[in-house]
Amino acid sequence: MLFTNATILTLDPSRRILTNAALHTTNDRITAIDKTPALLAKHPDDEIIDLTDHILMPGLISTHMHTAQTLLRGCADDLELVSWLCERIWVLQGNFTAGDGYVAARLSIAEMLRAGTTCFLESMFADRYGFDGLCRAVEESGIRGCLGKIVMDTGRYAQDDAWAMHPGLVEDREMSLMGTMCMWEKWNGRADDRIRVWFGARTPGGVSSTLYREMTALSRQHNIPITMHCAEVSADRTFFASTTDSSGNSHTPMTYCSSMGLLSPNTVLAHMVHLDDNGITLLSESGTHVAHCPTSNAKLASGTCRVPDLQRAGVNIGLGTDGAPCNNSCDMFQEMKLAGIIHKGVSGDPTVVTAEEVLEMATINGARALGLVDQIGSLEVGKQADFVAVNTRGVQMQPWSNPVSAVVYSATGRDVAWVVVDGKVVVREGELVTMNEEEVVREAKRCREEVVKRAGLEGKVGGRWPVV
């Protein structure tokens, strides 16, 4: 295929922006990027997609996502974290079936593809949701997925027994760690290598030290990456401080993770709000990646990640939407906008975390975090053909001077017109072509009602105003 007449954000090492440009694909690879007349002359007989008034860019990469939770969008708005988890989210998730998990995954993937996300990291998929169904949803839809299956052996959050998990979500070593190994053997590399299986460790307090050490040993032995929530809320910091090192000193989030073997270039830690300076140094020295989730952190009042400090230390930062109950959207364009704004307000410095840096987080940095930087994250000859085209004709996008600013500060997922993953068109002129969107929505509504009913929360998951 030949995509012509676009403004192309390459995100290549020199960060070139090409005007009146074209991109050529053969099978699953990018085979040429040049000015439109030059490529038209070379490939006159190929299928041509005219992208006049479009910005062509690498597919967006979400480094933190809960696919099951999209079924619970809007079920727990404006609650503090204990009520959010213990009274709503865990209760609902503890009543999922494998069928619900498959439907939720399809809904999440449909939304991500429609909004230009071509690759995502599922952070913590429980056994009861049906991991096989998640993998099938990825395989069928054409998206690229790094899929973290949950690892845990303790049914609480941090050290507080009041934050007990719903019994339906509690797993032991055999179900979680050994179950992940079984799924890795079955699914890793499937769907033309679009599926990668990860360890999705629960937050410290939900995993014993023994299990962490066993997981990190398996990670090193088999090169299986790890993702984990960490230092998200103040309770995490309190938990870490309750543990001690070999000298009897209280741990910080990063000294604890280091002692468990969790810090490495093969690990993505999500949120990372409550860090001290030494923790940032440990992240930098170990090559550990951070998934920044500004909307979730703001909505749940968790705090604000120290992104400018992490950047100065050379820590690689990706971007993630987190789950729909603490974001209400899987739209990475909206996530980019907040990431580019919130740190200016917090710091009082309008020059920090620029639009260019945010776009890097959502593309090339995300690819680096997922260990896929040699394949995706930028538009370069030889890389996988994963890219999106943003239609700029709408009044909400016009006029624009800087294409980076346009996609970070003006665009939303609704402006995405074309999405290509692995050389295959999955969204054509704003329409999903690999999934029946009406069926996806219909099934999601049905499953949502059934989950709420099984959880005994009918009439309790709406808003505060009367509905008549």
Please, what is the Cα angle at 420 between 418 and 423, to 5 degrees? Answer: 145
- Residue 463's pLDDT is what? 87
Residue 266 has pLDDT above 80, yes or no: yes
Whether the Cβ atoms of residue 291 and residue 270 lie closer than 8 Å to each other: yes
DSSP code, position 178: I
Distance separating the N- and C-terminal Cα atoms of the chain: 53
50: phi then psi, degrees, rounded to nearest 5: -85, 115
User: Identity (one letter) of the amino acid at 74?
Assistant: G
Lowest mean pLDDT among 3-12, 65-74, 171-180, 459-468: 459-468
407: phi then psi, degrees, rounded to nearest 5: -80, -30
Any bridge partners for residue 271, and if so which?
A: 230
Find the helix or strand (DSSP H, E) in which 461 lies: none
For 170-190, write each residue's pLDDT tens digit.
999 999 999 999 999 999 999
Q: In the predicted model, what is the mean pLDDT of the chain? A: 96
Banded model confidence at residue 156, pLDDT cuts 50, 70, 90:
confident
CB neighbour class for 27 (10 Å; exposed up to 12, middle 13-18, buried from 19)? exposed
233 Cβ contact list (under 8 Å, min separation 6)? 81, 273, 274, 300, 302, 303
What's the rounded Cα separation, in Å, for the pair 306 and 257?
Answer: 18
Domains within the chain, CATH numbers bracketed: 2-58+381-432 (2.30.40.10), 60-369 (3.20.20.140)
Banded model confidence at residue 158, pLDDT cuts 50, 70, 90:
low
For 8-34, write each residue's pLDDT tens digit.
999 999 999 999 999 999 999 999 999
- Residue 161's pLDDT is what? 63
Compute the average pLDDT of residues 146-172.
86
- Residue 160's pLDDT is what? 61
Banded model confidence at residue 162, pLDDT cuts 50, 70, 90:
low
Integer angstrom CA distances of residue 237 from 15, 17, 251, 276: 38, 43, 9, 10
For 309-335, write each residue's pLDDT tens digit.
999 999 999 999 999 999 999 999 999
What's the rounded Cα separation, in Å, for the pair 404 and 443?
Answer: 37
What's the rounded Cα separation, in Å, for the pair 124 and 86?
Answer: 17
Q: Cα dihedral angle (441, 444, 446, 449), rounded to 10 degrees?
A: -130
- Residue 126's pLDDT is what? 98
- Residue 164's pLDDT is what? 83
Tokens standing for 44?
């006159």
- 187 alpha carbon, distance to own chain's centre: 20
Compute the average pLDDT of residues 67-74.
97
- Residue 42's pLDDT is what? 97
For 402-454, write each residue's pLDDT tens digit.
999 999 999 999 999 999 999 999 999 999 999 999 999 999 999 999 999 99
For 269-306, write each residue's pLDDT tens digit.
999 999 999 999 999 999 999 999 999 999 999 999 99
What's the rounded Cα separation, in Å, for the pair 68 and 40?
Answer: 44
- Residue 159's pLDDT is what? 59
CB neighbour class for 252 (10 Å; exposed up to 12, middle 13-18, buried from 19)? buried
Banded model confidence at residue 462, pLDDT cuts 50, 70, 90:
confident
For 376-388, write each residue's pLDDT tens digit.
999 999 999 999 9
Winning range, highest mean pLDDT, from 82-91, 200-209, 368-377: 368-377
Integer angstrom CA distances of residue 370 from 61, 295, 327, 351, 362: 9, 21, 22, 28, 12
- Residue 276's pLDDT is what? 96
Q: What percent of the chain has pLDDT over 90?
A: 90
For 207-256, write each residue's pLDDT tens digit.
999 999 999 999 999 999 999 999 998 888 888 998 999 899 999 999 99
Banded model confidence at residue 83, pLDDT cuts 50, 70, 90:
confident
Strands 416-421 and 195-201: unpaired
